[in-house]
Structure 1
Amino acid sequence: MDIDQIRCFVAVADRLHFGRAAQAPDMLPASLGRQIRLLEERLQTRLFLRTTRSVALTEAGATLLADARALIAQAERFERRGRGLRRPEPAALRVGAIDSDAAGLMPQLLQLVRAAHPGLEIRLVERKTIHLLPKLLSGSLDIAICRPPEVRDPRLSFRTLFCETAVVALPERHPLADRPALDVAELADAPLIVPDRRSRPHSHDLTIRLLLDAGLTARIAQVAEEKHTIVGLVATGTGLAIVPRWTARPGVPGVRFVPLSVRGGAPRVTLALAAAWARGARDPMRDAFLAVLEAHLPALERSA
């Protein structure tokens, strides 16, 4: 039996007026009347005598009123008790990561965090940097592993971690695919697949800058937004791409990843990585996560 119908019955019985009774459960008088009719049909008895001027309880209605009040009180006790037994959901640390780090860094780091803090639940969100930073500001993320932006929001704290090494993604049958390493000059005439600068400014600028520094002009064959799309286009022979080393971690059929060298120093063939969080926000779980990250930075950096 619907407890709301019983509540409607008691509301009308207390006021003997459908209009005033409808104000209590916040419904239209016609809807209230429909609930009463359904209850009467269920009980197969009339509960009210209605005229255009008055409403009165029938003998059956008067007899059932005390039982109706008792049922409502019992339902409310049941609801309160059920809510009191509900266990709060365990708090979780919400961690954002860019795609290459979700593939390369996070599997290693999460294993270390779980070993150090077995009870810490982590929810991982994979997004681009331009999407992660607003989530930190809105409070929907607690910490993010991302590219440090050129202009840093003063409401966020950043901790530079290390740099990811860039490699060249080539079709496995490409003449350069079996080389142990490639010089930027060898990409002079190669069609390139580059990320969209609006969503991936760091990766886009790295590709263009490497070629410009070598006195070359980028021959852009395709612009794409997602890393997996870029690598997929490489597999089809659309062109070559300069990507973070961790992009190669899952392994992609039909694609080889070859280290890239630059004359005059390798630091230019890297992509910076940082941890970011809301400035001034206290969070013991985030601090525990950061402590594990800090303790294992050298080993994690070697894999990048």
Structure 2
Amino acid sequence: MDLRQLRCFIAVADTLHFGRAAQRMDMLPASFGRQIKLLEDGLGSRLLVRTTRHVSLTAAGRRFLDGARDVVERADRLEKAFRDENEDRAAVLRIGAIDSAAAGLMPQLLPHLREVHPEIEVELFEQKTIRLIPRLLSGRLDIAIIRPPESSDPRLTFQHLFHETAVVAVPKGHRLAGRDALSVADMADEPLIVPDRRSRPHSHDLTMKLFLEAGQSARIVQIAEEKQTIVSLVGSGVGLAIVPKWASRLAVGGVAFVALSPPSAAVRDKLSLAAVWLRDTRHPARDAFLEVLHGKLAEIAATA
């Protein structure tokens, strides 16, 4: 039995739904279910009754829940007290960032942060949202710039920053490459490259939702994970891709970037960036970073 297993069990007890509980923990359903099974196997008792439509606590599960909450809350208090004590000793700021933030936002922000706060040492860790949130919760990161998940963990504070602009990456020489703007209807029947939904749900769902709203079927011919790979595949003629505007800065030849029109609520929602950190924690370097970020936000958002 470990804290991760207890947190998973509490999430199920709170939601009575494995899917929503897995989202709250930012875990894949299979991994989440494995944690519950390990907990029950370790205790030698069944805590949950799960059918295809319903989840409920067993009598043992109800007895176990209060103790599990107490253990997790005491561990969180201990961690918070230790972290608060140590944050005053060093001005090291550990920032997590998804690719959009690492390539589009941080290069504009970090030079200004160094100018205003040269005493702050920044450690930058680039990864996907689904990997960054557990690092925040475990204290391995102080703040992260992410796509806000559909289900927010109550232990975290989320602050919306801005919405990025979506563009269409098109092979140069393609009949659509010379257009000023493209609609989803213009891309009907065109081969598309999309990210893997398991690791990049926001980027994947962006393309799918746009085509769904337009009453079109997305013709997916290739799934890839990294933006650099996706844009390179576009350049080699594999297909088109809907990507954030910052991807146009990648040094990939043979690709034209065309505006996506008309603007859609799906684009705005799926390309949202947010700052997130552990609730009720003190961190002077993080607060200084947020102050600099807010001062430059309008300028950065105008180019996103």
* TM category, shorter: 0.5 to 0.7
Contact 2:104 2:246 in 1 (8 A): yes
Contact 2:170 2:240 in 1 (8 A): yes
Which runs of structure 2 are paired with 1:27-46 in the superposition (5 Å)?
Answer: none
CA distance in 2, matches of 1:216, 1:122: 45
Which runs of structure 2 are paired with 1:194-205 in the superposition (5 Å)?
Answer: 194-205=194-205
Contact 2:167 2:245 in 1 (8 A): yes
Query: Is 1:131 matched up with 2:131?
Result: yes
Partner SS state of residue 230, structure 1: helix
Contact 1:261 1:269 in 2 (8 A): no
Query: Is 1:301 matched up with 2:294?
Result: no
CA distance in 2, matches of 1:214, 1:144: 33
Give 1:90 shift.
Answer: 5.6
Residue 94 of structure 1: aligned partner = 94
**Unpaired runs of 5+ in structure 1?**
1-88
Give 1:255 shift.
Answer: 1.3
Q: CA RMSD in A?
A: 1.4
Residue 113 of structure 1: aligned partner = 113
Higher mean C-alpha displacement, 225-234 vs 138-147: 225-234
Give 1:174 shift.
Answer: 1.2
Deviations 1:103-143 (A, max 9, x none): 11110011221122122111111100001111111111110
User: What letter corresponds to residue 221 of structure 2 in structure 1?
Assistant: A
Contact 1:98 1:126 in 2 (8 A): yes
User: What letter corresponds to residue 302 of structure 1 in structure 2?
Assistant: A
Partner SS state of residue 242, structure 2: strand
Contact 1:164 1:244 in 2 (8 A): yes
User: What letter corresponds to residue 139 of structure 2 in structure 1?
Assistant: G
Larger radius of gyration: 1
Give 1:268 shift.
Answer: 3.3
**Unpaired runs of 5+ in structure 2?**
1-88
Contact 1:103 1:250 in 2 (8 A): no
CA distance in 2, matches of 1:209, 1:267: 10
CA distance in 2, matches of 1:172, 1:133: 38
User: What letter corresponds to residue 181 of structure 2 in structure 1?
Assistant: A
CA distance in 2, matches of 1:250, 1:111: 20
User: What letter corresponds to residue 164 of structure 2 in structure 1?
Assistant: E
CA distance in 2, matches of 1:103, 1:127: 12
Give 1:244 shift.
Answer: 0.7
Partner SS state of residue 160, structure 1: strand
Question: Deviating runs (4+, > 6 A) in structure 1?
Answer: none
Give 1:169 shift.
Answer: 0.7
Residue 267 of structure 2: aligned partner = 269
Which runs of structure 2 are paired with 1:178-257 in the superposition (5 Å)?
Answer: 178-257=178-257
Deviations 1:202-236 (A, max 9, x none): 11111011111111000000111111111111111
Task: Report % sequence identity.
Answer: 62
